[in-house]
């Protein structure tokens, strides 16, 4: 009897291990099943002189295996932690805030498993990089968050009083305490301004929010990773276009193949698995239509390094 029970147990464990191994094997998303069916509506021509530079504030080291289905188990993956600085005549803007001066405190408040996984390297926080380059950090009038996880928000405290933009869905998500870390305590001290996406289609998105009303910086919903996750287009005067996609995927391959995160990573970090898939396929369609557009997943260091950083600018 005991022998039989042991046999069943060994069999079950073998099945579970097999399933876990399978969850890391290459598998592209079913583009047909998740297609948006949307037609493309180009935005207005950008009408302000904006420039863009990327502030690399730190990184985390992991294996490519964990970043997307099909990633190599042997390949080290450097996860970049960045803030993007958009210089606009109406006031400067950050897209995410990167690692801030207090990032250690944020990590201390994470659940034990997250802390164990979060081996991170600090670089110079965004506010300090700006100061070193002779830019007063007070020139930042707004920060738009692709979402409010710790690795995107700790830099906010280095810009006291700055307006923090997020859709109501993200604020609600924080209030429901679905976000681990310090954000619960921080949120009431932040100068949050919520905004609603308007019904105005933008490319293959049915709603959008033009931050300055001039076509230079346009946010669109990319729900799934968190309820209020979003993407941000930056359209430069030269015609060069960037699309910041937050943590929809951790690497470019997630969007180009396209491929979602492996099951274990999805369990740990995503809330709406189906929403993530739909959002990924929407961005995949966009990249097929505009192959020259530079897509910037929030943690793809290879792409971050290809973008100008202070004192240089993309124009």
Write out the residues near Zn ion by the rule CB under 5 A. Answer: 151, 247
Q: Least distance from C-beta 149 to Zn ion, angstroms?
A: 5
**Residue closer to Zn ion, measured from CB, 67 or 235:** 67
User: Cα–Cα distances in Å, from 63 out to 1, 82, 138, 280, 290?
Assistant: 43, 19, 37, 21, 30
**Residue closer to Zn ion, measured from CB, 80 or 221:** 80
- Tell me which residue has tokens 């998500």: 173
Query: Which residue stretches of the chain are H helix?
Result: 2-22, 31-34, 103-108, 112-117, 126-132, 150-153, 168-175, 183-186, 252-256, 263-269, 273-289, 301-306
**Residue closer to Zn ion, measured from CB, 152 or 284:** 152
Burial label for 278, CB within 10 Å (0-12, 13-18, 19+), is middle
- Please name every residue paired with 221 in a beta bridge, in sequence order, or none if there are none: 230
230 contacts 245 by C-beta, under 8 angstroms: no
Count how many residues are written for the chain.
315
**Residue closer to Zn ion, measured from CB, 145 or 236:** 145
Q: Least distance from C-beta 212 to Zn ion, angstroms?
A: 25
**Residue closer to Zn ion, measured from CB, 151 or 227:** 151
């Amino acid at each position: 009897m005991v022998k039989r029970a042991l046999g069943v147990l060994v069999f079950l464990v073998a099945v579970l291990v097999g399933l876990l191994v399978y969850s890391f094997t290459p598998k592209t998303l079913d583009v047909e099943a998740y297609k948006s069916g949307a037609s493309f509506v180009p935005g207005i021509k950008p009408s302000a002189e904006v420039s863009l530079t990327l502030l690399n504030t730190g990184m985390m080291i992991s294996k490519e295996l964990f970043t997307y289905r099909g990633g190599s188990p042997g390949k080290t993956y450097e996860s970049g932690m960045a803030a993007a600085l958009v210089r606009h005549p109406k006031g400067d803007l950050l897209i995410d805030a990167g690692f801030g001066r207090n990032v250690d405190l944020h990590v201390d408040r994470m659940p034990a498993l997250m802390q164990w996984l979060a081996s991170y390297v600090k670089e110079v926080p965004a506010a300090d990089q700006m100061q070193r380059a002779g830019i007063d950090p007070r020139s930042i009038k707004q920060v738009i968050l692709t979402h409010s996880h710790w690795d995107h928000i700790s830099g906010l405290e280095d810009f006291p009083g700055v307006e923090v933009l997020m859709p109501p869905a993200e604020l609600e998500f924080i209030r429901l305490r679905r976000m681990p870390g310090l954000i619960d305590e921080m949120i009431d001290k932040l100068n949050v301004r919520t905004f609603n996406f308007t019904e105005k289609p933008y490319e293959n998105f049915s709603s959008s929010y033009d931050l300055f009303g001039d076509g230079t910086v346009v946010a669109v919903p990319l729900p799934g990773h968190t309820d209020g996750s979003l993407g941000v287009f930056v359209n430069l005067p030269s015609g060069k276009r960037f699309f910041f996609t937050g943590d929809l995927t951790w690497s470019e391959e997630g969007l180009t193949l396209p491929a979602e995160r492996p099951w274990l990573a999805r369990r740990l970090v995503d809330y709406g698995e189906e929403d993530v898939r739909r959002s990924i396929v929407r961005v995949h369609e966009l990249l097929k239509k505009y192959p020259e557009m530079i897509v910037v997943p929030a943690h793809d260091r290879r792409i971050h390094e290809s973008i100008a950083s202070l004192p240089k600018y993309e124009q």
